[in-house]
Amino acid sequence: MRYAKNPVTRAFLLYFVPLLAAQSPYPWLEGIAQQQLAQRRQVVDQLKTPAEIRAYGQQVREKLLRWIGGLPTERTPLNVRRTGRIERADYRVEKVIFESQPGFFVTASLYIPTNRPGPFPAIVQPTGHSLTAKARELYQSLSIGFAKYGFVVLTYDPLGQGERRIFFDRDLGDSKVGGTTVEHQMVGIQSLLGGESLARPMIWDGMRALDLLASLPEVDPKRLGVAGCSGGGTLTAYLAALDPRVQAAAPACYISSWLEQLGGTGPQDAEQQFPDQLRDGFDHGDFLIAAAPKPYLIASTTEDFFPIAGARRTYEEAKAIYNRFGAEDKIASFTAPGGHGMRADTRGAIYAWMRKWLQNTPGPAPEPRFSVELEEDLNASPSGQVGGETASTLNLRRLGAIRATPGDLRQQIRAVTRYEPFSGPLQLQNGIGERFTYESEPGRTVPATLYRPAAANGSVVLLAADAAAAKEFVAAGYTVLAIEVALTGETAHRVGSYSNDWFPQDKAIWLALMVGRTVTGMRMADLVRGLDVLRERGVATPNGVIGFARGNPGVAMLHAAVLDPRLTHLILEDLPPTYRTLATTPIHRQIFDVVLPNVLRHYDLPDLAAAVSPRTVVLGRSAPARVEAYSGSHVKIIRRRELAGLVETYLIQAESRQ
């Protein structure tokens, strides 16, 4: 390698490039994901016989059910209500409301052919992310086209969409939190606390829609298919994999491959990925393996944000799987030009696929001519919002009933946070002055600054907060190691998302969960290795280290203190509410980075605070918050009007010498 001769260039290369390399853990997580996907491909390549494929497919179904928290065990009465009808020349549309769970109303449109005798094959069409859902022209079109070709179709509003908004405010005439994707994230992130997924009630809605179709006299229950676009494509993939009644499937603008998707838009909506799925060896191709050898059409577009290259990769993998069943004709792909969506030619390909396999009528099926209805004319409820239970109210009740199981707290912390201690070389890389980076885990670095006061008082602070806090400690004589833990400061992942205002950096957080990590566990590694840095730099003291964190990083600081006694005194400003509070409060924001899957069944933050006794824990609050769950003489709760004057407010000097 040739070194730059220009001193300015050399300074940039030597000092700033290491810091730039540490800006975001997302590339590091991508590297882990790619290794996991490579391991999965090796396993899939070894599937040679139908028996091996079926066994693998059963494992896929078991994983899916485990990730979503299982399905309801009882098929309660659907209590179908028909609230209106629209008659057209060769089909009718019935406005339907049914209950997929007691009091959990699903608004739907039922399309029934009227120009030929039944019973007919039937299609469930879950819709994509859209405010008008089943009434949107795109989704009406697919339903009408199928009806004209002699299919009964049930298309319904997914939760959070159409007539089923989760946080609908009648005074606003809209959701309190925003669009459908934000509603999904709001409930989906909360579901993780109980080891569940938003996909759980969404899949159940689809299965109950199949129940409804199968119960109709106009339907042949042995000829059921499912087809949907975008988020509807996601549900199509789930239903085809999990429900044996589905005889043919056609997801559009969803099936791709995580290898390509990670480099594009990354993780999407809350129901579209799960913790541990990449760690456990899961890719889009597994949906098709679990469904094989039932007829399966992958519909894609060339400019979709679900990459076409990934769709092609998955199609080629699926072809090899179907070939081993001798079912080469049951797997196909169709690609249309343009962006995300389901054009008329794509719909024509889907009609033809379902006609071939559910009507025994091969050949092209161009879209018939028709007119769609006005969106409001398809409302099944009088007001346009059905009411009753919502995904949020179901969540609050289920999560609120969960109780932690006592156990070895240290083992529970390691299991829940996925914290992986690392004791290898620190790999310190010096920057300008006392600015440097260190390796907290192999391949992941942390920006840090060591502040040494002119008149040191002999106490040391490990700080996860802003520079202003560091300067105040230094002014009072404290030696401070200020670090930017994962997804803070320079390590923040600033790729845009449709829900960033509510859930900043959600893509990086989802990816961490998918590869089997958590942001809290990563931040714990950063903090524990920060203690090693203090030892390496010769500034650690026999009295231990004061840990100071502001906001969400305080959760990791509290976890780390339970495992590492070198943190002898904790000061946590504006610690997020307890996990039970998050689980039982409908609306929350900017808490995704501290959410831990299934934590409610193991422990809560007050349990951690109790476990560090007799070390002092100071909780600083700038606003009223629930603190009654915290107890013990070693826990001090201080309320002040504004977050300033750290040393004076907390009496650090006195506390640290007790």
pLDDT tens, residue by residue, 576-628: 999 999 999 999 989 999 999 999 999 999 999 999 999 999 998 755 556 66
Q: Are 247 and 226 in contact (CB under 8 A)?
A: no
Ramachandran class of 458: left when φ > 0, alpha when ψ lies in -120 to 50, beta otherwise = left
Q: Is the model's pLDDT at 21 over the cut of 60?
A: no
Q: What are phi and psi of 637, to 5 degrees?
A: -115, 120
What distance in Å separates the CA atoms of residue 271 and residue 269, rounded to the nearest whole number? 6
> What confidence score (pLDDT) does residue 499 get?
66
- The helix (H) or strand (E) run that includes residue 479 is strand 479-483
Apex 503 CA angle, 264 and 157, nearest 5: 80
> What confidence score (pLDDT) does residue 365 get?
98
Highest mean pLDDT: which range of 398-402, 492-496, 573-577 = 398-402
pLDDT digits 0-9 by tens, 114-134: 999 999 999 999 999 999 999
Percent of the chain with pLDDT over 70: 92
- Looking at per-residue confidence, does 18 or 472 come out higher? 472
Q: Are 435 and 537 in contact (CB under 8 A)?
A: no
* Confidence category of residue 424, pLDDT binned at 50, 70, 90: confident
Q: Is the model's pLDDT at 633 over the cut of 60?
A: yes
pLDDT digits 0-9 by tens, 27-50: 999 999 999 999 999 999 999 999
Nearest to 156 by CA among 117, 211, 217, 118: 211
- Looking at per-residue confidence, does 339 or 458 come out higher? 339
Helix and strand numbers (H, E) in the chain are 22, 20
> What confidence score (pLDDT) does residue 16 get?
35
Ramachandran class of 403: left when φ > 0, alpha when ψ lies in -120 to 50, beta otherwise = beta
What distance in Å separates the CA atoms of residue 497 and residue 519, rounded to the nearest whole number? 18
- 50-400 CATH choice from 1.10.3720.10, 3.20.20.70, 3.40.50.1820, 3.40.50.300: 3.40.50.1820
> What confidence score (pLDDT) does residue 344 get?
97
- Looking at per-residue confidence, does 85 or 178 come out higher? 85
Which one-letter amino acid corresponds to residue 278?
Answer: L
> What confidence score (pLDDT) does residue 332 get?
98
* Confidence category of residue 643, pLDDT binned at 50, 70, 90: very low
CATH 3.40.50.1820 in the chain, residues?
50-400, 409-656
- 409-656 CATH choice from 3.10.450.50, 2.60.40.10, 3.40.50.410, 3.40.50.1820: 3.40.50.1820
Arithmetic mean of pLDDT, 362-367: 97
The mean-pLDDT minimum among 135-149, 156-170, 284-298, 421-435 falls in 421-435
